[in-house]
Amino acid sequence: MNFSLDINSLRQQYLTGKLHPLDVMEEILSCIGDDPHRVWIHRLPLDEIEKYVLAIQDKDPADLPLYGIPFAIKDNIDLAGAPTTAGCPEYAYHPERHATVVQRLIDAGAIPIGKTNLDQFATGLNGTRSPYGACRNAYNPDYISGGSSSGSAVAVALGQVSFSLGTDTAGSGRVPAAFNNLVGVKPTRGWVSTHGVLPACRSLDCVSIFARNTADASSVLSVAAALDNQDAYSRQMHTYGFDFGRAEAFRFGVPTAEQLQFFGNQQAAELFRRSCDALRAIGGVAVEIDFTAYLNAARLLYEGPWLAERYAAITDFFDARSEAIHPVVREIISGAKRFSAADAFNGMYQLEALRREADMVWDSIDCLVTPTAGTIYRIEEMLADPIRLNANLGYYTNFMNLLDCAAVAVPAGFQNDGLPFGITLAAPAHQDLPLLHLADRLLGGEKVSSAQELLAGRVRIAVCGAHMAGLPLNHQLTDRGAHLVARTKSSADYKLYALPGGRPQRPGMVRVQADQRGSAIDVEVWEMAAREFGSFVAGIPAPLGIGTLTLAEGAQVQGFVCEPYAVKDAVDISCFGGWRAYLQGGR
């Protein structure tokens, strides 16, 4: 392809008219070819894709956040008009409606390419348990892709789509990300609707997102996440509190040396050590934690009564057509019948006790850092020992949904053989944005857009004058529960003026034209609940207002701006570099 599929690049091409969505889709179908990696179960023909393109062609690309962005859908998530097989052709049905999350993405302009391969009924972390063939790793086809969202990850890694949807019950949205050098977002359970998703464990399932970078993942999450009354497990997003992902100092938990497992893979152990060093380099303080509660919770998923929830999802089909189910999947799910209702309640009691233990760990750390998987296996190895090796892959992932955590899988280098390695950043529910911010810093990639702050009910605002700490109007922020996040500078594209009149006196910050010389101006970035933002803005008198302000490091936040007409008779104080410096020595 002669264009990049990352969301920002593709949007810019559409906005400038250099690309048309149909040209992109035709190129993608050509790139997929005969699908040697066994990524796809059902690809939409071009005439079906054209219908989605026609639906957006009269709309302004600037109005749709995912305009013309191609994506893939794991084949346990409904796409109207395409079969949902869950990796079992005998089970297939044809939904008349899109899953809620698919509908939201299409409404935002995204274009579905098709349905992807998976471990049957989303039971597995390796990608080999499919009658459509073992999905092959994007970097070395002799190795597993990870599962169960195997095809969804490989489609992104091979450059066939911009992003994809998976599901994650035990690690299915994170292990494939690690094995294919991707960002994998497992949102807070309930943030993204599972209406129209065939359950694995309905009380635990999450729709996950695979992307090349944190900016793309954040953009997709901002569209996908919403309360859905059709989903009994859907949850309102809560504010996240302390944003450790952007803090100068934060505490990250690491299991003790005895609890870290790499299953003989010393290169993976070294890459994890380097990842911890990288976190220290950006302000992290490592805290060794007791990982026992997390490990014990993980065992409940397949050794406890939650296994029965997988059977509950497909009871009628399992009882009537068990011979149609993949042998390994059948063996696993059949174990559910040994659990009683009493076992289920005892399992819930045990889980609550483990949650209390985990809560005590969270009191001492801001986030948890582990390998996403301790090692990777060849396909032939996995087929020879499918249950034990799969259990190894879930060592660091199986506890997440049981303990109600949010998580982001992050690429973390390559082994000597060229295979990717990844780590996972995790935190309690509703900490999704801080995790994405931390992942973004760790990767040194594009900044997560400030617009995404609204996901968690928080908004940041840059102030440059009387609202700064200790100055007369700062109470308008603190009265609303705002707190100071950073003292920094704007980009060097602004001028600062002392506006005439007014009590207290205020500055006006104006962005200069491209052919003019500007300055970097001192600002403070404050954060408040989104519900308080409207009343704050309503109290700002003309000629001041709130607009988008670019910071020195490139991030964009809401900030004070001034109407250009108001600075005609004002004094240019840009040379002082900021309002405090002007107050101290400029007048």
The residues that are catalytic are 74, 148, 172
Contacts of 29 (CB under 8 A, 6+ apart): 43, 46, 49, 113
Residues in the chain: 587
Q: Identify the CA nearest to 69 among candidates 154, 157, 6, 151.
A: 6
**b/e 316-343 (16+ beta carbons within 10 angstroms → b):** ebbeeeeeebbebbbebbeebeebeeee
E-state strands within 429-555: 458-463, 483-489, 494-498, 507-511, 522-529, 544-550
Pairing of β 183-186 and β 405-414? antiparallel
Give which of 263, 488, 303, 326 is closest to 402, Cα–Cα. Answer: 303
Burial degree of 415 (CB within 10 A; 0-12, 13-18, 19+): middle
Collect all residues with Cβ–Cβ distance below 8 Å to 283 and sequence separation of at least 6: 247, 248, 249, 250
Measure CA of the first residue to CA of the last residue in the chain; give whole Å. Answer: 59
Single-letter residue type at 409: A
Annotate 361-383 with three-state secondary structure. HHCCCCEEEEECCCCCCEHHHHH
How far is residue 280's CA from residue 271's CA, in Å, rounded to a whole number?
Answer: 14
Query: Can you list the positions of beta strands (E) in 169-235?
Result: 183-186, 206-211
User: Residue holding tokens 């209406």?
Assistant: 195
CA distance 100 to 288: 41
Whether the ω angle into residue 504 lies within 30 degrees of 0, i.e. cis, is yes
Classify each residue of 495-520 as buried b or exposed e, where b means 16 or more C-beta atoms within 10 Å of its C-beta.
bbbbbeeeeebbbbbbbeeeeeebbb
- Using CA atoms, how far residue 308 sits from 133, 296, 312, 334, 549, in Å, is 27, 18, 6, 9, 52
Q: Which residues pair with 527 in a beta bridge?
A: 460, 483
Cα(468)–Cα(42) distance, integer angstroms: 56
State phi, psi for 246 to the nearest 5 degrees. -115, 5
User: Strand 483-489 relative to strand 522-529: parallel, antiparallel, unpaired?
Assistant: antiparallel
- Number of alpha carbons in the 13 Å side-chain half-sphere of residue 187: 31
63 CB-contact burial (10 Å; exposed 0-12 / middle 13-18 / buried 19+): exposed
The SS3 of residue 151 is helix
- Total Cβ atoms within 10 A of residue 494: 23
Q: Cα 313–316–321 angle (5° rounding)? A: 110
Q: How far is CA 301 from the centre of its chain?
A: 23
